[in-house]
Structure 1
């Protein structure tokens, strides 16, 4: 009897310690938060990897110092998706020139992997668009069915965009908002630089042809139309009016009121304009704050 009591006294502390460790382990597993979503993907479209019908890369041409705008747009595009397409959103700018850019943008790249840095000096009408398209076949690790060039003051609705592309050709395509504003004929002039799209074969042609290489100075959206005309390219053209347009009251006939079937709204220069657009399209619907 004394021996049994002695064994109990000796083993009891170990049993209690084991029990406490087991309880702590269970609590840690229960309270452990779920793994966060991968922040390196700028679109939730990869939720449907086996269902998507085509792929699209949207390159938002911006400037290295526009940190706040990039972070905001990551939110805007990170909550959108389409079961029709794998869509990747990238931010595109020219070579870094400041020490703080190299440090801060390195953090962005490590965190998000959504930045393309081109070998050029920042410019508006001196070849940035050409450098963008011509560089893609060499710097991307994959091909896309379509590549888009967009400004950082445009709101693109990814699901309507994907739906509008579903029935269009995958080759020799030029898609956007045709200029002049009143025109409905995409074969006469060119697509506005607010946001236009090319099929991958046209992107590869831009990177290899002497026609765009020798014509890089001037209004860049107009130049793209000139390249395609000179090269007899983009036989498949589609101007998506009135679904693509400038924000109401900002640009004459290129503007109109917000409409439910919108694909893209341009010239969002102020936060109150962004707020109007986000509220109109119920971007945060279902979330009560």
Structure 2
């Protein structure tokens, strides 16, 4: 007696069709979320491992612009030591200090001496301020200063940083090398509890944009009509209203506030840090530099005994 065997072909067809539908919806979902997914994936791979990522062969050019005020002479000298003693590979990094117009005779003399010696100061045509347009004036002015001098773009990335932020240059370079060089908006996401770079904006402790965004700010009416308010929030408004910065990368928690006092924006110092913010006094700077062994490469010499 032969028993009837039910054909498995209909089941196989249904299975194949179900797989096809599932893959189709995955593709649609990935397409909708492509920018966010790529940002999280690429930065996550950098942050969580030391694997070498695909990199652009061309040397990456980065401008770090430290917004400060004319009378902060000692802070600028200290930051020159901090940034001038760091090593990094595969990049050209320039650190410039950004001021508004000088208003006193001593400023003109002292800042003039700094310019003659270091040539690392940008003086904007503005009245010194924090939240009334200095950041707007800075980004608007950059193309007039640097376009037409050397290669184009003069910098692939521009970082706006506070003068109480310690940026570890090699970590910054490593994190930027595999990222897009257009339409990029990178930093520490606000609010502090969020990990979504599309949520609001990047903290003013130190955010990075690509050069095409700098040029867009230079020519767009959006920044010109909205200049007052917390400078990092205002910048985020520009990105949202202008539909710019679609390549967004959250560098949290490799950028963070100093752990004392503890807050939702801070955590303990750790080795893979890109930037530490709120170094408001010398003690915090010294503790931070000591943690990262900043002076470890000091060469032995008969001229000094540091132990």
**Which band: TM-score by shorter chain?**
0.7 to 0.9
| 1:228-259 Cα shifts (integer Å, max 9, x gaps) | 11111111000101100000033611010000
Mapping of residues 93-242 of structure 1, within 5 Å? 93-140=99-146, 141-142=149-150, 143-242=154-253
How many aligned residue pairs are there? 239
| 1:100-158 Cα shifts (integer Å, max 9, x gaps) | 11111111001000000000001111000000111000012452000010000000000
Larger Rg: 1
Structure 1: give runs of 5+ residues left out of the alignment. Answer: 1-50
Q: Structure 1 residue runs of 4+, over 2 Å off?
A: none
Matched, 1:54 2:60: yes
SS in 2 for 1:174: strand
Task: Normalising by structure 2, report the TM-score.
Answer: 0.76
| 1:43-96 Cα shifts (integer Å, max 9, x gaps) | xxxxxxxx8621000000000000000000000000113112100000001000
Whole-Å separation in 2 of the counterparts to 1:220 and 1:188 = 17
Whole-Å separation in 1 of the counterparts to 2:119 and 2:205 = 24
Question: Which of 260, 263, 277 is 1:249 aligned to?
Answer: 260
- Alignment RMSD (CA, Å): 1.2
Alignment correspondent of 1:44: none
Whole-Å separation in 2 of the counterparts to 1:96 and 1:138 = 20
Whole-Å separation in 2 of the counterparts to 1:121 and 1:169 = 35
> Larger relative contact order (C-alpha < 8 A, sep ≥ 6)?
2
| 1:257-286 Cα shifts (integer Å, max 9, x gaps) | 000000000000011100100100000004
